[in-house]
Amino acid sequence: MTTTHLYLGIDCGTQGTKALILDSESGQVLGLGSAAHTLIQDAQGRREQDPGQWLHALQDATRQALVQAGISGQQIQGIGVSGQQHGLVLLDSQGEVLRPAKLWCDTESNDENSQLLQWLGGEAGSLERLGLVIAPGYTVSKLLWTKNHHPQVLARTAHILLPHDYLNYWLTGRCCSEYGDASGTGYFNVRTLQWDRELLRHIDPDGHLERALPELIEPRQPVGRIRPQIAKLLGLNPKAVVSSGGGDNMMAAIGTGNIEPGIITMSLGSSGTVYAFAPQPQVSPDAALACFCSSSGGWLPLICTLNLTNVTAAVRELFGLSLEAFNQLASQAPVGADGVSMLPFLNGERVPALPDATGSFQGLTAGNLTRANLCRAAMEGTTWGLRYGLDLLRRNGLQSRTIRLVGGGSKSPLWRQMVADIMATPVVCTEQSEAAALGAAIQAAWCLGAGSLTLSELCQRCVRLDPAGETWPVADNVRAYEHFYQRYRLQVAALTE
């Protein structure tokens, strides 16, 4: 194979790193690779990872993808990186990581988020100033937490980066950030596309944090060429260019063709997300609806739940079940799990806004306490939050006749049917379930001007829907689920009171 239209997409997620080789001329994915990460966690809400793991996983996943594609890394023209949003990576002046990265699902900084929100003037003040309401998990509260708990680390900090920014830095030696991922920090104004330096001066009056900010670049701007030693380490073309990359949701939007109005993407990953493209800032009075920027030159109104496949994985592990056995058991229980319901807030929750909530099973009796009902209740419980988010999007004028479903959970026929029924909307999967890695590769091709194609043309060529995964709602199920969804709303309302 001698094609010069090959691009590497990297997606650094919570559970692992994926690598994907894309031929932008044929639109075909030629190879895939993956490597797992481990989590540092405790009962206080700590959720951290060692960024060094990401580097090893990136190397392993890239090697696997190249082998599966049957190509030489010397043929790779460009690299795009997707990363889990909101994570905080602190580097010293030598570029060394100062402490483990606090992740999007970390809730240790809930108190700091409340303090910052109060300083901003509450939800209304945050909306007016930033164009969104800062939430627990956003990067800004992690900075205040670090100042309060590790002041010596903050004193040595020379660079504040997000996970995908850090991988770009490792690849190129340049510290920068693009608008999409930056808009999830909580110190970026999504209307003016600028850092809010005064907010950082409030946290650190000495201006130390302000000086550690990365340079901002536009989505189509490349970060630069891969460093020679990293190209050699990965076996890649030393002339390969690294694109701006972005947050995992922004890259998955590109990887599902969600770059123009009228499409809604729903991701069933460690977290659950629902989002749509908007050509202008879609600032909503609904605090749960985050008006992030896209990585395609627009905005990406988005809701995020903190609990999805992490919850079903926890139940699987509790019962010692394989993924196949878990799905089989859940399919044996009826809609509504015989009255068993789960509030799946193992990491607290962002949507609905319950940062201090915990998980619980409800409605248990001697007759319905079965593994099948508990498995199904975990799936249904996590999906209610996505319905809540979809309702928010629709209330704000963002409509779609179908939902494009991605993420690990989308591979389950049972879960696809559940989503279609609970949302009362047909769902369709993309052929490539690793949408964030695909989006990163497509963005790299766009950044390098592959064949002078527009991003829309590249998406039309490379994003393919899978007719076999198309799932339509069943009327009886829709009616039954509506009853159980209203029960969920009442249970959430009881928590908020």
85 is in an annotated binding site: yes
CA atoms within 13 A on the CB side of 237: 20
* 182 and 188 Cβ atoms separated by less than 8 Å: yes
The SS3 of residue 222 is coil
Q: How far apart are the C-alpha atoms of 213 and 411, rounded to whole Å?
A: 39
* 432 and 464 Cβ atoms separated by less than 8 Å: yes
486: its two tokens: 């209203």
* 428 and 451 Cβ atoms separated by less than 8 Å: no
Q: How far apart are the C-alpha atoms of 68 and 150, rounded to whole Å?
A: 44
Q: What is the CA radius of gyration of the chain?
A: 22
Altogether, the residues listed in the chain come to a count of 497
Which residues, 6+ apart, have CB-to-CB distance to 320 below 8 Å? none
Distances (CA, A) of 377 to 183, 258, 359: 34, 30, 12
Q: How far apart are the C-alpha atoms of 414 and 416, rounded to whole Å?
A: 5
Which residues, 6+ apart, have CB-to-CB distance to 114 below 8 Å? none
* 109 and 136 Cβ atoms separated by less than 8 Å: yes
Q: Is 286 a catalytic residue?
A: no
86 is in an annotated binding site: yes
Sign of CA dihedral 304, 310, 312, 315: negative
The SS3 of residue 319 is helix
The SS3 of residue 411 is helix
| Residue that the structure tokens 């970390």 belong to | 106
436: its two tokens: 């964030």
- Residue of 11, 181, 248, 286 with catalytic role: 248
165: its two tokens: 């920014």
Which parts are annotated binding residues for substrate? 85-86
| Active site amino acids | 248
Which parts are annotated binding residues? 85-86
